[in-house]
Each structure stands twice: as C-alpha cells, then as structure tokens.
Amino acid sequence: MSDISFPIKGSCQCGGVTYELLSAPLKVLACHCVQCQKLSTSAFSITAVVLASELVFHGAMADWSRTCDSGNLSSAKFCPTCGNRIYHVNPAEPNNIKLKASNLDDTRVLNPSAHIWVSEKQDWFQLPEGVPTAEKGA
C-alpha cells in the first residue's frame, strides 16, 4: 500500500454521504456469513476495520441495528436516500468502525487479509491460497 495516498475519499451511490479515510485500515476482512451475503447481494462483503478517529463523514445517515450470532449489537449506518451501507459499529466498541469500503474512490486498500465465516461461504467460491481463514468470526 506504499503507493496509496491518504486521505481517500468515498461516497454512497447518490453522493448524499461522503467521507474521507485518513489512513490505512487496521485490517480488511472478507466476511462470508449469510447476513453479509444478504447485505452485499454477493458471495461475501468486504469490511475495512478502521479507527473512528481516522474517518471524517459528511451528510446525514440513517441507522438500523441487529443482534449478531456473537450476541454483539451491530449498528449499521447508511444513506437514507440511496440506501448504500456506509459502516457498522458495535456500540460497545465505538472506536472500531467496520467500514463498507467498496465505495472508496481508490479501492486498492481492499485486499482482504483474512476470510471469515467461511463455514457459511458459497460452495462455488474458491478461497485464495495463503490467506488466513476462520470458520466463524475473526
């Protein structure tokens, strides 16, 4: 990631929510759980774990929460106009933002360092060799 310049801008589809990622993510995860498949309408969802202090958001966001299999609360923030998910946060850990970073202008930072919840992955998806995996959460 040495040739990537920060901050990197991101936005929802309609542009009503914009943000800047000020530094590289702590980690990037590809989550294969059924809930992330529903969220992404694909085989998995990519999440960049970042410190809240490394993000600057602009625009109003709506929220929705659910209890995860772990028992933790996942609060989702999204654009109220186009519905694009922007991030998740566990209210018990407000400093760790789970950015749905596929809406960054430069997505080169999104190379997953691990694949999680592979116990629920789509059968047809082949996990890349050499990347750590977890049957359930990280």
Structure confidence at residue 66 as a pLDDT band (50, 70, 90): confident
Predicted local confidence at residue 124, as pLDDT? 96
Supply 43's token pair: 């085989």
Determine the pLDDT at residue 19: 97
- Residue 82 — pLDDT band, cuts 50, 70, 90? very high
Q: Are 49 and 26 in contact (CB under 8 A)?
A: yes
pLDDT in tens, 105-119: 999 988 899 998 899
Q: How far is CA 134 from CA 3, 7, 21, 35, 123, in A?
A: 30, 31, 27, 16, 16
Mean pLDDT of the chain: 90
pTM for the predicted model, two decimal places: 0.85
The alpha carbons of the chain give a radius of gyration, in whole angstroms, of 15
User: Which domains does the chain carry?
Assistant: 8-120 (2.170.150.70)
Phi, then psi, of 59 in degrees rounded to 5: 105, 155
**Other CB atoms within 10 A of residue 80 CB:** 14
